[in-house]
Amino acid sequence: MSDIIRLLPDSVANQIAAGEVIQRPASVIKELVENAVDAGATEIQVIVQDAGRTLIQVVDNGCGMSETDARMAFERHATSKISKAADLFSLHTMGFRGEALASICAVAQVNVRSRMKGAEIGTRIEINGSKVESQEPFACAEGTNMMVKNLFFNVPARRKFLKKDSVELSNIVKEFERMALVNPSIDLTLISNDTTLHRLLPGSFKQRISDLFGGTVAKHLLPVSTSTSIVSIEGFVVEPQGARHRNPLQYFTVNGRHMRHPYFHKAVTMCYERLIASDMQPQYFLNFTVDPATIDVNIHPTKNEIKFEDENGIWQILNAAVRESLGRFNAGPGMDFDTPAGFEIPVFKPDASANPEVTIDTSYNPFAPSGTPAPAPRKPSVTSNWEQLYQGFMSDMGQRDAVPAVTQMTEGSPVIEGLVDGSTDNDEAYGLSSAIQVRNKYIMAPAVSGLMVIDQHRAHLKILYDKFLKIGTGEASQSQSLLFPEILTLDATQESVFGEIEGALRGMGFDFAPMGKRSRVITAMPQIIAHANPIEVVSGIISDTAAGTLKRTDDGMRAEIALSMARRVAIKSGVKLTQQEIEHLISELLRLPSPNYTPDGRRVIRVLTDNEIDNFFK
Ligand code: ADP
Ligand code: MG
């Protein structure tokens, strides 16, 4: 038998390597900007077209390359940054693996113009899928200008799996922001489809944070500073009230390199444990400096994961430094974080206004034979509370006639799986009044021939979604001006997403007025959500769109926005409902033409059939 093993041609090997290093347009930007930083540039311009699909261009005023170096740079393992293995442990450059340019030129068309400092003339090279097409002397500015066109043009599978432009652009902006934070002394610009998303002048770290993320974040920064023999940590944490629900700004760098480090992240978040609600996330910008010999940068091709020699030691130092900063901010020196009374965390009480004094009796059994949901008073001292609750309940009962009657409710003849019998026109059929809420999460109600279990959040989401889709179609009234217009401040990613969906938002009843750099005043909302928090709703829609979690449907943006709004406004799981609310929810849900699934395909209702229930007891 003849031999069958052969060495892969370089172009194929490079394409395989590109799979690891270059995953998306943002990875190209990371590699090219890092090269520009390593080249000593003081000014770097990043230009993208179509979220990097068509063009990624990085222009720097760094040291430039000679004619030979410019060609060599695209060979695999070609680097000017290290020459022996020992150099790996004293790295002072971003790059060292010599594979970024080789990988990029294997999966794109590259055009480079470069002139060394002081050289009379520069050079221009064109490379197409690893093949050098041409090189010639070229008059250009000092520094390097790299143009990467049609990324993945020869790897259709990769190109196909690129996400929609808003998502890829958001990744690009995030990558750019990470590098901008690490290099506050470099003049940096990001331009996307001829719009300038960032124009950052050299300045302090704090100034850079402010330029990138806005003055509101910068105003709430608490300095962190500590220096020990194994590490020094400098930077800022954000005051507890600056914590965010979504997309928190959380940045670690080590020796000028951005890193992900879940273990150190924990050291910071633990300090906030009693200071912020459990669903909020702290924000931080922390820079570590260590002896390069004590870290290994080379555990992943993207170099974002870094192994430290003494992770436990650094964890302790980091945790103590952040605690100290937060302590100084809150109560002056000596504040004891282990005293529960140290901080009052506001607790969300949805029913607080209706029954201000009522404490929920966890031993209350809704299945008790009396059928009365009012719990027996446990101690005499709570009698008055109990009376309030009971009275509240009675008055709810009195109002029940206002709730659509069961007979009306079934007009739409909902088809629910498991409802064997279609005759739904009498009170016993659904027995709304005996519906109960279980674990503040599900609603159970008798169905025609079984028992319905409804997920309260999904049910409400579905009801709202159907309503929101009708906004502007004449069936639902439109817009309501806000009595107190609210200011929405966007970061660069959000700004570009906003541009994409602004028209659709207006079509649904939102209105905006421009207000300075990347800010808008929300002046009107769709009337049916007029009670909701405008900032939360709009930024929720923007972040859903940016994250690409919303599928595009035939109804396009409207459906996406309706779903996102419904997610924000729908009753959450864990919220206690009054009997009236329970009944209203079921009745509205069952009016819908298809109440069984949410728009994103999750089940709303399950029915346990009589047979199934009987089988439990066989
Ligand atoms: P690495 O950065 O790991 O060395 P790259 O493939 O990214 O590998 O780059 C290869 C070489 O090309 C670098 O070592 C450097 O000498 C040269 N180079 C790349 N980009 C630039 C640039 N913008 N300016 C000057 N030299 C560059
Ligand atoms: Mg490099």
For a pLDDT cut of 70, what percent of the chain falls above it? 80
Domain count, the chain: 3
Q: Is residue 408 part of a domain?
A: no
Q: Is residue 360 part of a domain?
A: no
d(C-alpha 471, C-alpha 476), whole Å: 5
**Tens of pLDDT along 461-473?**
999 998 888 887 7
Considering the domain architecture, whether residues 196 and 210 belong to the same structural domain is answered as no
- Sign (positive or negative) of CA dihedral 594, 595, 598, 604: negative
- Write out the two tokens for 40: 């000593």
d(C-alpha 397, C-alpha 156), whole Å: 64
* The predicted structure's pLDDT at residue 408: 30
Task: Give the neighbor-by-neighbor strand order of the sheet with 221-227.
Answer: 221-227, 232-238, 284-289, 250-254, 257-259
Considering the domain architecture, whether residues 144 and 251 belong to the same structural domain is answered as no
From ligand 2's centre to the CA of 60, what distance in Å?
14
Question: Which CATH number is 178's domain given?
Answer: 3.30.565.10
Considering the domain architecture, whether residues 86 and 181 belong to the same structural domain is answered as yes
To test the pocket of ligand 1, the residue of 22, 29, 101, 179 to mutate (highest count of ligand atoms within 8 Å of its CB) is 101
Average the pLDDT over 309-337 and give the result.
Answer: 77
Considering the domain architecture, whether residues 195 and 223 belong to the same structural domain is answered as no
d(C-alpha 44, C-alpha 67), whole Å: 22
The atom of ligand 1 lying closest to the CA of 34 is 2
| 194 conformational bin, left if phi > 0, alpha if psi -120 to 50, beta if neither | left
Considering the domain architecture, whether residues 167 and 278 belong to the same structural domain is answered as no
The atom of ligand 1 lying closest to the CA of 100 is 6
Q: Which domain holds residue 599?
A: 427-608
Query: Taking ligand 2, which is a single-atom ion, which protein residues have CB atoms under 5 Å away?
Result: 35, 95, 100
Query: Does ligand 1 have an atom closer than 6 angstroms to the CB of 98?
Result: yes
Which residue puts its alpha carbon closest to atom 21 of ligand 1? 35
From ligand 1's centre to the CA of 337, what distance in Å?
49
To test the pocket of ligand 1, the residue of 44, 63, 79 to mutate (highest count of ligand atoms within 8 Å of its CB) is 79
- Write out the two tokens for 284: 């931080």
Choose between 336 and 264: higher pLDDT.
264
| DSSP annotation string for 12-59 | HHHHHHHHHH-SSHHHHHHHHHHHHHHTT-SEEEEEEEGGGTSEEEEE
- The residue length of the chain stands at 618
Query: Does ligand 1 have an atom closer than 6 angstroms to the CB of 123?
Result: no
Query: Does ligand 1 have an atom closer than 6 angstroms to the CB of 76?
Result: no
Query: Does ligand 1 have an atom closer than 6 angstroms to the CB of 79?
Result: yes
Cβ(244)–Cβ(340) below 8 Å: no
Choose between 276 and 111: higher pLDDT.
111
- Single residue among 328, 363, 384 that ends a domain in this structure: 328
Query: Does ligand 1 have an atom closer than 6 angstroms to the CB of 287?
Result: no
Considering the domain architecture, whether residues 444 and 530 belong to the same structural domain is answered as yes
What does each C-alpha distance from 5 to 2, 11, 15, 191, 385 come to in angstroms? 10, 17, 19, 47, 83
From ligand 2's centre to the CA of 102, what distance in Å?
10
Ligand nearest to the CA of 105: 1
Ligand nearest to the CA of 146: 1
Considering the domain architecture, whether residues 69 and 155 belong to the same structural domain is answered as yes
Cα R_g (the chain), whole angstroms: 30
Considering the domain architecture, whether residues 141 and 244 belong to the same structural domain is answered as no
Considering the domain architecture, whether residues 136 and 95 belong to the same structural domain is answered as yes
Number of H helices, E strands in the chain: 19, 22
Considering the domain architecture, whether residues 230 and 185 belong to the same structural domain is answered as no
Paired with 222 in beta bridges are 237
| DSSP annotation string for 473-526 | TTSB--EEEEEEEEEEE--HHHHHHHHHHHHHHHHTT-EEEE-STTEEEEEEEE
From ligand 2's centre to the CA of 295, what distance in Å?
19
What does each C-alpha distance from 303 to 158, 312, 411, 553 come to in angstroms? 22, 21, 61, 38
**Tens of pLDDT along 272-287?**
988 888 888 999 999 9
Q: Is residue 55 part of a domain?
A: yes
Is the pLDDT assigned to residue 478 strictly greater than 80? Answer: no
For a pLDDT cut of 90, what percent of the chain falls above it? 42
Phi, psi of 170 (to 5 degrees): -65, -40
Query: Does ligand 1 have an atom closer than 6 angstroms to the CB of 60?
Result: yes
**Tens of pLDDT along 419-453?**
223 333 433 445 678 899 999 999 999 887 788 89
- Single residue among 200, 221, 251 that ends a domain in this structure: 200
247: Cα separation from own chain's centroid: 4
* The predicted structure's pLDDT at residue 559: 82
**Tens of pLDDT along 534-575?**
998 999 898 888 776 554 544 567 888 888 899 888 998 888
d(C-alpha 279, C-alpha 113), whole Å: 49
Considering the domain architecture, whether residues 194 and 254 belong to the same structural domain is answered as no
d(C-alpha 539, C-alpha 552), whole Å: 19
Question: Which CATH number is 324's domain given?
Answer: 3.30.230.10
User: Which of 123-132, 310-319, 382-391, 527-536 shows the lowest per-residue confidence on average (mean pLDDT)?
Assistant: 382-391
Query: Does ligand 1 have an atom closer than 6 angstroms to the CB of 31?
Result: yes
- Single residue among 185, 200, 215 that ends a domain in this structure: 200
To test the pocket of ligand 1, the residue of 30, 34, 38 to mutate (highest count of ligand atoms within 8 Å of its CB) is 38
Global model pTM greater than 0.85: no
Is the pLDDT assigned to residue 109 strictly greater than 90? Answer: yes
Choose between 334 and 219: higher pLDDT.
219
